[in-house]
Amino acid sequence: MMIRGAAPDRVQGMGEAIGVALSPIPIIAVILMLTTPRARATGPAVAVVMAVVW
């Protein structure tokens, strides 16, 4: 699909950007991480794992 006036590269990446923005998995992970008693220890661990996986 081509949007008038938009660069093709921007249009091509829009679907992926919307999918990442609406993905509930990172949101659920952050909520669970912040509600645990050891939030300070699990926070960096979750960030490292997500950076490695993505």
pLDDT tens profile 7-45: 666 666 777 777 777 778 877 878 888 888 888 888 888
Per-residue model confidence (pLDDT) at position 3:
56
Per-residue model confidence (pLDDT) at position 18:
79
How far separated are the first and last CA of the chain, in Å rounded?
27
Q: How far, in Å, CA of 11 to CA of 34, rounded?
A: 35
What are the residue boundaries of the structural domains of the chain, listed by start?
Answer: 24-54
Per-residue model confidence (pLDDT) at position 40:
86
Better-predicted residue by pLDDT, 8 or 52: 52
